[in-house]
């Protein structure tokens, strides 16, 4: 007999959204166990307490229920009274931590209505396996074993890993954990950075902009080198309004999807609201086109369209662009069109420094010596998902970044069959299902899963 009906693995937004929808569907909180570190609902995305780590989309796009899209904004009017910088001409962009507070309040309210509590172990699941009598057994980082009839993977985005080798005797470098910031999402590293120090920020996306904004607020004076693979920052969010989707061929090939993008996007600057409106309209039905493609065609399409998609799908909050512009004008921030190939830890007398091997698009190979390196690549690896592949339970998706799942979010086994008792809802489902990594996309998937599970359990 299993300990629980449902085991949710993870504790960030995906886990909280799944819990909300399961309870709303009528499943008792006592039938659910959650395993994941930290406060439920915050995770890596919304767990930073720093004022300058902001949502990159407007408040009305951060919804949990499609028929209550203003719920977060309405909650914010009462509960966020200390964020004077949130309002911009293109919308309201609140702090990430405040959305985490909002989600936590939803969980508390849902459990109060349901009249129960959940069991939440603040551990990490290191291994998940089938048990003979059916169901699953999770092994936690503290050695605890938990059995459940059904396991729901909601691990979210894993912490970033270093994108290059690190050479040198780490033991000789004082306070290494402060000099090399592998995971910037919690924001605690900001308290260790002297104002005159030389910094290298790896990555040119939203996390890098959050880091730059936080450093600007702290009046950082030393040089900041932002190593961006494309040599530019993300574009700023415009004041766009999405209209009807364009028409698509029934089963378009990658070349047809690419032509549709080219013909539909207007001949305007990409920061024009009309251009972004067209881009957002292309997104409305893109998941259906994506899911109809073979793995080979998905890889072909991403080779051609991936750069455009990443750049214009993940636009930046106006506050972060303004901060980066201020530092550039002051001569503090330099955006380098360069890739990092290695980090060398070096000691000279009692002084430590970090020497970076770069390949710069303009100058070729060169060295850069800094005091701190902040890893803002966002590229991580989920060992639990890798273990499921190694154990012959699941199979990698088309890009080797997550697990292959069905349209019902069931993990696919090596025989190509869906596993009805092992589900995945979170960013790792994107390669199978498409543009589903936003909070709204994850929540919609959670609603579908909850409705199906309720019909099975109740």
- Which of the two residues, 246 and 352, has the higher pLDDT score? 246
**Taking 80 as the threshold, does the pLDDT of residue 1 lie above it?**
no
Distances (CA, A) of 205 to 110, 168, 210, 375: 35, 28, 9, 11
Beta strand 136-140 pairing with 145-153: antiparallel
pLDDT band at 205 (very low <50, low <70, confident <90, very high): very high
Would residue 343 count as lying in a domain? yes
**Do 174 and 231 fall within a single domain?**
yes
Q: How many domains does the chain have?
A: 3
Mean pLDDT score, 313-339: 96
- Tell which residue, 215, 216, 202, has the closest CA to residue 160: 202
**Do 89 and 205 fall within a single domain?**
no
Which residue range is the domain that position 354 belongs to?
Answer: 166-235+316-375
Mean pLDDT score, 398-403: 90
Would residue 188 count as lying in a domain? yes
Mean pLDDT score, 136-165: 93
- List, in sequence order, every residue forming a beta bridge with 166; answer none if it has no partner: 343
- Tell which residue, 16, 8, 15, has the closest CA to residue 109: 16
Residues ≥6 apart with Cβ < 8 Å to 35: 7, 8, 9, 10, 11, 120, 121, 123, 124, 125, 138, 140, 146
Would residue 244 count as lying in a domain? no
Mean pLDDT score, 271-284: 94
**Do 182 and 133 fall within a single domain?**
no
Residues ≥6 apart with Cβ < 8 Å to 122: 11, 36, 37, 38
Please give the Cα distance from 69 to 62 (Å, whole number): 7
pLDDT band at 2 (very low <50, low <70, confident <90, very high): very low
**Do 178 and 306 fall within a single domain?**
no
**Taking 90 as the threshold, does the pLDDT of residue 351 lie above it?**
no
pLDDT of residue 178: 77
Mean pLDDT score, 361-385: 90
% of the chain surpassing 70 pLDDT: 96
pLDDT of residue 108: 95
pLDDT of residue 379: 83
Q: What single DSSP character describes residue 236? A: B
- Which of the two residues, 40 and 352, has the higher pLDDT score? 40
Beta strands (DSSP E) in 131-209 are: 136-140, 145-153, 166-167, 180-181, 199-202
User: Dihedral sign, CA of 424, 427, 432, 438?
Assistant: positive
The CATH number for 410's domain is 3.50.50.60
What is the reported pTM?
Answer: 0.93
**Do 265 and 217 fall within a single domain?**
no
- List, in sequence order, every residue forming a beta bridge with 199; answer none if it has no partner: 224, 372
**Do 332 and 302 fall within a single domain?**
no
**Do 31 and 148 fall within a single domain?**
yes
**How many C-beta atoms surround the C-beta of residue 415 within 10 A?**
7
CB 397 within 8 A of CB 424: no
Average pLDDT, the chain: 92
pLDDT of residue 410: 97
**Taking 70 as the threshold, does the pLDDT of residue 9 lie above it?**
yes
- Tell which residue, 455, 382, 457, 391, has the closest CA to residue 424: 382
pLDDT band at 411 (very low <50, low <70, confident <90, very high): very high
**Do 299 and 264 fall within a single domain?**
yes
Q: DSSP for 408-450? A: TSEEEPTTS-EEEEEEE-SGGGHHHH-S--SHHHHHHHHHHHH
**Taking 80 as the threshold, does the pLDDT of residue 101 lie above it?**
yes
H or E stretch at 340: strand 333-348
- Tell which residue, 250, 251, 249, has the closest CA to residue 264: 249
pLDDT band at 375 (very low <50, low <70, confident <90, very high): very high
- Tell which residue, 408, 406, 386, has the closest CA to residue 396: 386
- Tell which residue, 307, 286, 305, 284, has the closest CA to residue 205: 307
**Do 331 and 213 fall within a single domain?**
yes
Would residue 240 count as lying in a domain? no
**Do 385 and 367 fall within a single domain?**
no
Furthest-apart CA atoms within the chain: distance in Å: 69
Would residue 351 count as lying in a domain? yes
**Taking 90 as the threshold, does the pLDDT of residue 363 lie above it?**
no
Q: Which of 337, 356, 375 is the last residue of a domain?
A: 375
Would residue 242 count as lying in a domain? no
**Taking 80 as the threshold, does the pLDDT of residue 348 lie above it?**
no
What ranges in 87-239 are assigned the alpha helix state H? 96-114, 176-179, 206-217
**Do 334 and 385 fall within a single domain?**
no
Please give the Cα distance from 442 to 405 (Å, whole number): 14
**Taking 60 as the threshold, does the pLDDT of residue 7 lie above it?**
yes
Interval 40-73: pLDDT, tens: 999 888 988 889 999 999 999 999 999 999 999 9
Would residue 246 count as lying in a domain? no
CB 88 within 8 A of CB 318: yes
Would residue 272 count as lying in a domain? yes
What angle in degrees, to the nearest 10, is found between the helix axes of 295-313 and 254-264? Answer: 20
CB burial of 335-365 (b: ≥16 within 10 Å; e: otherwise) equals bbbbbbeebebeeeeeebbbebbbeeeeeee
pLDDT band at 251 (very low <50, low <70, confident <90, very high): confident
CB burial of 160-196 (b: ≥16 within 10 Å; e: otherwise) equals beeeeeeebeeeebeeeeebbbebbbbbebbeebeee
**Do 222 and 339 fall within a single domain?**
yes
Interval 174-186: pLDDT, tens: 556 578 999 999 8
CB 187 within 8 A of CB 217: no
pLDDT band at 169 (very low <50, low <70, confident <90, very high): low
pLDDT of residue 72: 98
């Amino acid at each position: 007999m299993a300990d629980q009906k449902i085991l949710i693995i993870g504790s960030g937004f995906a886990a909280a959204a799944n819990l909300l929808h399961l309870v709303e569907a009528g499943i008792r909180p006592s039938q659910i166990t959650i395993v994941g570190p930290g406060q439920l609902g915050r995770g890596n995305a919304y767990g930073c307490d720093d004022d300058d780590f902001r949502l990159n989309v407007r408040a009305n796009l951060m919804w949990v229920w499609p028929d209550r899209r203003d719920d977060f904004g309405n909650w914010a009017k009462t509960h966020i009274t200390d964020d004077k910088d949130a309002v911009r001409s293109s919308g309201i962009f609140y702090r990430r931590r405040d959305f985490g507070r909002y989600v936590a309040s939803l969980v508390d309210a849902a459990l109060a209505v349901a009249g129960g509590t959940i069991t939440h172990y603040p551990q990490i699941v290191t291994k998940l396996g089938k048990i003979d009598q059916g169901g699953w057994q999770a092994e936690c980082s503290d050695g605890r074993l938990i059995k459940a009839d059904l396991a729901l993977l909601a691990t979210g985005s894993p912490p970033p890993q270093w994108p290059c080798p690190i050479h040198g005797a780490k033991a000789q470098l004082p306070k290494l954990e402060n000099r090399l910031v592998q995971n910037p999402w919690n924001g605690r590293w900001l308290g260790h950075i002297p104002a005159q120090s030389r910094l290298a920020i790896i990555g040119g996306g939203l996390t890098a902009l959050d880091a730059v904004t936080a450093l600007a607020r702290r009046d950082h004076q030393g040089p900041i080198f932002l190593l961006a693979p494309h040599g530019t920052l993300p574009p700023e969010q415009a004041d766009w309004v999405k209209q009807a989707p364009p028409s698509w061929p029934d089963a378009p090939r990658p070349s047809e999807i690419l032509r549709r993008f080219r013909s539909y996007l207007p001949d305007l600057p990409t920061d024009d609201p009309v251009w972004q409106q067209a881009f957002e309209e292309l997104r409305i039905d893109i998941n259906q086109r994506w899911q109809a493609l073979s793995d080979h065609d998905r890889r072909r399409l991403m080779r051609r369209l991936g750069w455009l998609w990443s750049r214009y799908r993940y636009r930046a909050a106006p506050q972060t662009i303004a901060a980066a512009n201020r530092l550039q004008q002051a001569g503090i921030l330099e955006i380098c069109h360069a890739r990092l190939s290695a980090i060398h830890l070096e000691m000279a007398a009692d002084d430590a420094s970090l020497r970076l091997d770069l390949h710069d698009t303009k100058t070729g190979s060169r060295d850069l010596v800094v005091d701190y390196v902040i890893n803002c690549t966002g590229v991580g690896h989920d060992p639990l998902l890798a273990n499921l592949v190694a154990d012959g339970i699941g199979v990698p998706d088309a890009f080797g970044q997550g697990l292959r799942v069905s349209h019902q979010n069931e993990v696919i086994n090596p025989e190509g069959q869906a596993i009805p008792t092992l589900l995945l809802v979170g960013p790792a489902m994107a390669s199978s299902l498409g543009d589903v990594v936003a909070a709204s996309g994850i929540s919609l998937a959670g609603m579908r899963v909850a409705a199906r599970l309720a019909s099975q359990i109740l």
